[in-house]
Amino acid sequence: MNSHTANVAPGEIDWEGQFNPRVAVPNFDQIMDERKRASAQIRQRRPCLSGLRYGEAERSTLDAFPAKSATATLVYIHGGYWRSGQAQDNSAIAEHFCAAGAAVFLPNYSLCPDATVPQIVDQIAQAIAWVKTAGCDYGANPDALYLCGTSAGAHLAAMLLASNSGIAGACLISGIYDLAPVLKVSVNAEIGLNEETAERMSPMVHPPAGHPRLIMAVGGLEPPLWVRQTHDYAIQCEARGLECDVLEIPDANHFSVVEALYRGSAPIAAAMTDAMRLTDHLPLDETLI
């Protein structure tokens, strides 16, 4: 692997503290409760179609925030270390992008240990294929398809970039791109990675196909080795000639960093809006949470 974690003596690394986000953020529950509250508000304020089926697995469903005729389409992939989370609890990210004229889709997917990471990657590929075809019925623009994901969701988005050159761009937030450290933390008891799958599922050694426009963000309060993964992956992408902006969000931890997507004036949302060419379509009195 190309991660800078190789430069640190293994005996000096607190793997659990560096790569188990819930250990690093004591107020995790409070942050997630607020995210669920904000998401429930958005689902009441904007038209939302829940439980649209894109595949055969029980959790192969997605939620859609449709648009009459979208300038661009955003697929947001939730995090949860591949073992928790659901689309409806992350609906708050739709507000800004819907206001800007995008159609927004949030897929669910099977969770570890009921599914393996490779199976989850395949499910997300199914979801993207569905959005490109059936999503047109909900205003999706398959020629301007962008991905966004947080944590494990950023990993899943990056894996899709490695195999799908039809994606125009992606916003990857607090992702893990070299999965080798996951083998050293307690959550792998549920995730079930081994050395072979950790390498096969690592975007660090499987960079994007095509020429997607990339934005990468990470919280300034995240553990140093987690932050470093974002910079290492950006270096890999830039070496392929890809345009890539890297943002470190001050005073944001692994879970609070996603809140920057809720407001168009925040750096991540502003950068993504610009990349998706939505800037000219924003209403003058943008509604924000």
Residue range 223-237, pLDDT digits in tens: 999 999 999 999 999
Question: Could you tell me the residue ranges of all domains in the chain?
Answer: 28-276
Our CA angle for 148, 152, 157, nearest 5°, is 40
pLDDT digits (tens, 9 = 90+) for 87-108: 999 999 998 999 889 999 999 9
**CB contact set of 219 (below 8 Å; sequence gap of 6+):** 174, 227, 248, 249, 252, 253, 254, 256, 257
The stretch 200-215 carries a mean pLDDT of 95
What is the residue-averaged pLDDT of the chain? 90
CATH superfamily of 28-276: Alpha/Beta hydrolase fold, catalytic domain (3.40.50.1820)
**CB contact set of 6 (below 8 Å; sequence gap of 6+):** none
pLDDT digits (tens, 9 = 90+) for 105-160: 999 999 999 999 999 999 999 999 999 999 999 999 999 999 999 999 999 999 99
User: Which residue is associated with the tokens 């439980």?
Assistant: 51
Q: How far apart are CA 278 and CA 289, in angstroms?
A: 19
pLDDT at 21 over 90: no
| Encoded tokens for 111 | 């969770």
- Please report which confidence band the pLDDT of residue 184 belongs to, taking 50, 70 and 90 as the band edges: very high
**CB contact set of 214 (below 8 Å; sequence gap of 6+):** 169, 170, 171, 172, 208, 234, 237, 242, 243, 244, 245
- Please report which confidence band the pLDDT of residue 11 belongs to, taking 50, 70 and 90 as the band edges: low
| Encoded tokens for 287 | 């509604």
DSSP class of 122: H
